[in-house]
Every structure is written in C-alpha cells, then in structure tokens.
C-alpha cells in the first residue's frame, strides 16, 4: 500500500468510478486507484512515477505552477480539462485537487477526475426516459428584458411583471425551447422536426401567461423551486392540464436555462371531477330517499298539527256560538290554530328544502328554547292520551349546532310514541325527557313506563315501515334515525330495568353558554 494513502482503504477507492491519484510536490504520481485501468487501460501500479503531464495532459501540466502555489496555501483547485482515454478519444473531465498538508507544509495533493461525458450521458438517459415531461428553456431573452426594464427606471421587476401582462406574453413568446424529453414531446404532440425555432409561447394559451410569470416571480424572489397547476396547449391546440414544476439553481444571478417539469394531470383531474359529481349525486339521492320516507311520513307528521287545528278551530266555534260568546277563549283557541298551522307549514318547508341540493340547515340554538317549543307542541297530544311529560334540563344553558326543526321532529316522535305505547295502561303514565352531557356529546333520552317492546328486534324498530300499531306507518323512528345521523349522532332503544322503554340519541356538537 502506498504510504500516501495509508489511512485509506484501497478497496474503497478502487471501486469509485472516477480517477483518484496522489501526486507529490514534484507532480509525480505516487498512488493510482483501480479506475486508472478503465481510463488508461494500464495497471494502476504502472502509473506510479509518471508525471501530471503524462497522466492529465500537457495543457494541465502547463497550469501546474499556478495550481501548486494555490494548493500550498491550503486551497482546493477545481478546473475542467480534456483528458485522453486509452482509445485516444479526449473526454471532458472535471478535475479537483485537494492538498495534503503535514505540519503546515504541503506534502502533495490528491487529484480526483470525473468523466463529464459519462455524467452527461447519465443525465441524458435520465432526462430522456423520465415519466415527467422535461423542458429545457433558454431564459436569456427574459433576462435581457428584465435588465432593460431595470435600465428604463423600473426598480421592481416583480411589480412590473404584475402590472404588465403584455410584457409576460412577449416574454413567453420569445423563450426558445432548447430541448424536450420524450415524455414532454409525447404530451404536447411535438415531433423532432418541430423543435427548430420552437418558442414557449406556442404552448401557453392567452390568459395563462401569469401562471408562467408566477414561476419567474418565484425565481426572482429567491425561491429554490416552484409548483403550480395550469392548462397549457399541445402543438395542435388541444388543451392539456398540467402540474408545472421548476427548480432554480441555488446560485446568485440569473441562470440562462431553466428546466421545467410538466406532469399530465388531465386524468387525475377528470377522476376528481367525476368523484365530486358522484358525491354530489349520492348526497342528493340519499336526501331524495330520505325525502321518500319523509313524503310517506308527512301524513303522519302533519296529522298532529292538523288534528290540533281542527280541535282548536272547533273549540273557537263553540266559544263564539255560546249565548254569551267568550271572545277571550275564542281568541286563545284561534292563536293555537295559527301556531299549529305554522308548525305544519314548517314541516312541509323542511321537507321541501331537504329535496333541494345544498347543505342542510345548521344553526346555533339554545337547547332550553328548543325543549320549551317541544313541550308546547306535544302538550295537547300527550294530555289527550292521559300522559305527563317531565323534562330534566341541563344545569347550564347549552347551545347546539343543528337544524332545530329536525331535532324537534325527533323529540316529538319519541314523545308521541311513548304516549301511544302507554295508551291502554292503567296508573300514572309518565314520560321523562332527560338531558345529560357526556364525552360522546349531548345525550337526549325519552323514557316511559309503558309495556316496552320486543327486545329481539330493538334495531328493527328503526327500519322504515316497521309498526305494531293498527294505524301506524312505521316511519317516525326511521326518519328520526336519518336526522340524528345527519347531525353526526346515533340513536338507540333499550328496555328500562324496571318497566318501559328508553329511546336515546346523541348530538355531538354542543357548547355550554
Ligand atoms: P309508528 O309509530 O308509526 O308505528 P315508529 O317508527 O314511530 O312508527 O315506531 C315503530 C314501532 O316502534 C312502533 O310501532 C312500536 O312498535 C315501536 N315503538 C316505538 N316507540 C315505542 C315505545 N316508546 N314503547 C314501545 N314501543 C315503541
């Protein structure tokens, strides 16, 4: 092993695909790695004793005094050279000298020589075979235009770009396309014969210049890369949706060429559009199927307020038909007629708005107000059925984000069902509406002390058209479930340990006021 390489493992340096040599202060080779065999066709050992001139050529040797003086100062030296291969062909090479310093004195230098032709070949094969469409653009013209702008008194080229879209048009029209890889040519319908004199402007439809300008602005702002999506056009004029990517070299000053990547996003965008259309249709069709259920339940839902309208209307007539008409009682009855008619109208309105495309209504509403409305609305019906309603509110006022009419609809359904279940039983008929808060959200429970239901089918209760009532439609609970789930909650039923049923649903979005 050479004493000059004593702290290196030659097995490693032999595997490096570059020439590694060590020269002493007299420019004589003292070490050569295995790659000398590939480059010069000679055994590395036979290189020992040869001079820089013999190995790297006379042009390099001529500059050696200057290089040696820089190396003695501890500097590294990098330069390009043409170096002959064994077959006599000159290869462009990048050479780097690294000094070896012992006790402050240079004892020699390493020479690393990289074959640029190989690297160019590697770059070209990568560039050519990439799945990304690459463009090499000549940006010197743009550089000149920007310099001209600066000379004419415009100190802020970025502002100038924004203020003058016409400048950008002119700029893209004058950017020569130096090279396009196979993928870019395929994507933009460019043949080899089209390449001569091809300008970027051919691919940039009117109105898209600003997108290209955004790349330039990013570059001027000192960013190292930039990405945006746009629609360019093929040579035959057909639009192509692309993702544009540009990486800017991280050195000062303006680079002369810019490599732009283009990825075809048409397929992905078409998929995205199809998906969102499907989603919209799905959301609509699920609303429509809910609507189907609602349409069937309208009779059921609207029957309650309609019944109340009839009862109160008749009551009003009776108060008026008396020998001495009781106007106050008649007025009260008529007020109830109006309130019930408004409720029927709201149910119908809600049904109609559910059929429309668009987000369901979500508002912040006070739970206590909502419950007070429910109490008022069910009062008549549950009294008629001989039931009492006891409401246990939360200790603090709480707001929910919901569609209040729909939540009222759910509660009314549960309460009226409870009242109907106890219709034929003797003793006190109590319905409890209990509110509590939990980690799952707000819990609203409706409990009764009625006969309960067949536990083998507690989930089936929520199926559309499941009913055990002669006059039932089996719609109320299925609509309740649809509404609760649309609010992000869940609904379930179970038997009370002692007697009766518990129907319970959650509302995840609530805040304490
Ligand atoms: P409908 O009341 O029109 O029959 P629902 O969907 O409201 O339809 O209820 C479905 C069925 O669930 C009822 O027919 C009844 O058998 C049962 N059910 C609902 N609530 C109760 C309750 N509180 N106690 C016992 N059974 C109930």
Give per-residue pLDDT as tens, 388-447.
999 999 988 899 999 887 888 889 889 989 999 998 888 889 999 999 998 889 999 999
Residues 153 and 98 in one domain: no
pLDDT tens-digit readout, 63-74: 999 999 999 998
pLDDT of residue 263: 87
pLDDT of residue 362: 85
In this prediction, residue 2 has a pLDDT band, given cuts at 50, 70 and 90, of very low
pLDDT of residue 25: 94
Residues 255 and 166 in one domain: yes
**pLDDT beyond 80 at 180:** yes
**Does ligand 1 come within 6 angstroms of the Cβ of 330?**
no
Q: Percentage of the chain surpassing pLDDT 70?
A: 86
pLDDT tens-digit readout, 311-322: 999 999 999 998
What CATH number should be reported for the domain holding residue 460? Answer: 3.30.565.10
**pLDDT beyond 70 at 124:** no
Mean pLDDT rounded to a whole number for the chain: 83
pLDDT tens-digit readout, 323-375: 898 999 999 999 999 998 998 888 777 766 665 544 567 889 999 999 988 88
Does residue 341 contact residue 305 with C-beta atoms inside 8 Å? Answer: yes
pLDDT of residue 199: 94
CA dist 178 and 200 (Å) reads 10
Query: Which contacts qualify for 164-167: CB closer than 8 Å, 24 or more apart?
Result: 165/209, 165/210, 165/213
pLDDT of residue 346: 84
pLDDT of residue 123: 64
Q: Of 214 and 368, which is predicted with more confidence?
A: 368
pLDDT of residue 307: 86
**Does ligand 1 come within 6 angstroms of the Cβ of 501?**
yes
- What is the extent of the structural domain holding 183? 130-264
What CATH number should be reported for the domain holding residue 55? Answer: 3.30.450.20
How many other C-beta atoms are found inside a 10 Å radius of the C-beta of residue 268? Answer: 12
**Does ligand 1 come within 6 angstroms of the Cβ of 474?**
yes
pLDDT of residue 225: 79
Residues 105 and 195 in one domain: no
Report the number of distinct structural domains present in the chain.
4
Nearest to 121 by CA among 132, 129, 113: 129
Residues 169 and 241 in one domain: yes
Run of H or E including 241? strand 239-247
Q: Which atom of ligand 1 approaches the CA of 477 most closely?
A: 6
Q: Of 32 and 125, which is predicted with more confidence?
A: 32
Order of strands, sheet of 363-366, starting from the edge strand that comes earlier in the sequence: 363-366, 398-402, 510-512
How many other C-beta atoms are found inside a 10 Å radius of the C-beta of residue 190? Answer: 20
Q: 132: Cβ–Cβ under 8 A, 6 or more apart, which residues? A: 183, 245, 261, 262, 263
Domain presence at residue 473: yes
Residue where a domain stops, chosen among 339, 358, 377: 358
pLDDT of residue 450: 95
pLDDT tens-digit readout, 462-512: 987 788 988 777 778 888 898 899 899 999 999 999 999 999 999 987 787
Q: How much distance in Å is there from the Cα of 461 to the middle of ligand 1?
A: 7
Report the predicted TM-score, pTM, of the whole model to 2 decimal places: 0.40
Q: Assign 376 to helix, strand or coil.
A: helix
Does residue 468 contact residue 428 with C-beta atoms inside 8 Å? Answer: no
Q: Of 4 and 277, which is predicted with more confidence?
A: 277
Pairing between strand 257-264 and 363-366?
A: unpaired
CA dist 207 and 225 (Å) reads 23
Q: How much distance in Å is there from the Cα of 466 to the middle of ligand 1?
A: 8
Q: 37: Cβ–Cβ under 8 A, 6 or more apart, which residues? A: 43, 44
Nearest CA to ligand 1 atom 20: 417
pLDDT of residue 251: 53
In this prediction, residue 194 has a pLDDT band, given cuts at 50, 70 and 90, of very high
In this prediction, residue 127 has a pLDDT band, given cuts at 50, 70 and 90, of low
Q: Cα-atom radius of gyration of the chain, to the nearest Å? A: 43
Residues 416 and 352 in one domain: no
Domain presence at residue 269: no
Residues 95 and 154 in one domain: no
Q: How much distance in Å is there from the Cα of 438 to the middle of ligand 1?
A: 26
**Does ligand 1 come within 6 angstroms of the Cβ of 418?**
yes
Domain presence at residue 270: no
**pLDDT beyond 60 at 201:** yes
Q: If 0-12 CB within 10 Å is exposed, 13-18 middle and 19+ buried, where does residue 493 land?
A: buried
């Amino acid at each position: 092993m050479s004493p000059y390489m004593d702290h290196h493992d030659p097995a490693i340096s032999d595997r490096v695909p570059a020439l590694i040599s060590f020269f002493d202060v007299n420019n004589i080779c003292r070490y050569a790695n295995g790659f000398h065999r590939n480059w010069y066709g000679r055994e590395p050992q036979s290189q020992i004793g040869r001079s820089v001139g013999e190995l790297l050529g006379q042009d390099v040797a001529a500059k050696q005094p200057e290089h040696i003086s820089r190396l003695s100062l501890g500097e590294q030296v990098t330069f390009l050279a043409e170096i002959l291969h064994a077959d006599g062909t000159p290869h462009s090479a990048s050479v780097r000298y690294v000094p070896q310093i012992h006790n402050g004195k240079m004892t020699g230098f390493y020479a690393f020589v990289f074959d640029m032709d190989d690297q160019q070949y590697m770059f070209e094969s990568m560039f050519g075979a990439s799945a990304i469409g690459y463009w090499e653009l000549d940006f010197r013209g743009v550089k000149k235009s920007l310099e001209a702008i600066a000379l004419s008194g415009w100190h802020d080229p970025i502002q100038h770009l924004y203020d003058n879209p016409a400048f950008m048009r002119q700029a893209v029209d004058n950017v020569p396309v130096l090279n396009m890889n196979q993928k870019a040519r395929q994507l933009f319908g460019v043949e080899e014969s089209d390449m001569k004199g091809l300008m970027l402007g051919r691919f940039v439809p009117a109105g898209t210049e600003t997108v290209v300008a955004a790349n330039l602005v990013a570059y001027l702002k000192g960013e190292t890369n930039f990405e945006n999506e746009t629609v360019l056009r093929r040579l035959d004029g057909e639009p192509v949706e692309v993702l544009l990517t540009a990486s800017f070299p991280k050195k000062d000053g303006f680079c002369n060429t810019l490599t732009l990547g283009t990825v075809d996003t048409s397929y992905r965008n078409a998929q995205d559009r199809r998906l969102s259309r499907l989603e919209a249709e799905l959301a609509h069709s699920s609303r429509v199927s809910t609507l189907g259920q609602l349409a069937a339940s309208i009779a059921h839902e609207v029957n309650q307020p309609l019944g109340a309208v009839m009862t109160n209307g008749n009551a009003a007539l009776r108060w008026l038909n008396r020998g001495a008409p009781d106007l106050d009682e008649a007025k009260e009855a008529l007020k109830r007629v109006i309130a019930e008619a408004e409720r029927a109208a709201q149910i119908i309105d809600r049904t109609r708005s559910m059929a429309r495309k668009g987000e369901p209504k979500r508002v912040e509403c006070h739970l206590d107000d909502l419950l007070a409305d429910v109490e008022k609305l069910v009062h008549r019906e549950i009294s008629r059925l001989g039931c009492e309603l006891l409401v246990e509110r939360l200790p603090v006022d709480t707001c929910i984000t919901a569609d209040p009419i729909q939540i009222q609809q759910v509660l009314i359904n549960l309460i009226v069902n409870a009242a109907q279940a106890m219709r034929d039983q003797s003793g006190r008929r109590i319905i409890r509406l209990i509110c509590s808060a939990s980690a799952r959200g707000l819990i609203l429970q409706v409990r009764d002390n009625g006969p309960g239901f067949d536990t083998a089918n507690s989930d089936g209760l929520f199926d559309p058209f499941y009913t055990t009532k002669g006059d039932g439609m089996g719609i109320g609970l299925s609509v309740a479930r649809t509404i609760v789930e649309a609010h992000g909650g869940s609904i379930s039923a179970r038997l009370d340990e002692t007697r009766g049923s518990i129907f319970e649903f959650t509302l995840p979005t609530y805040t304490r006021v």
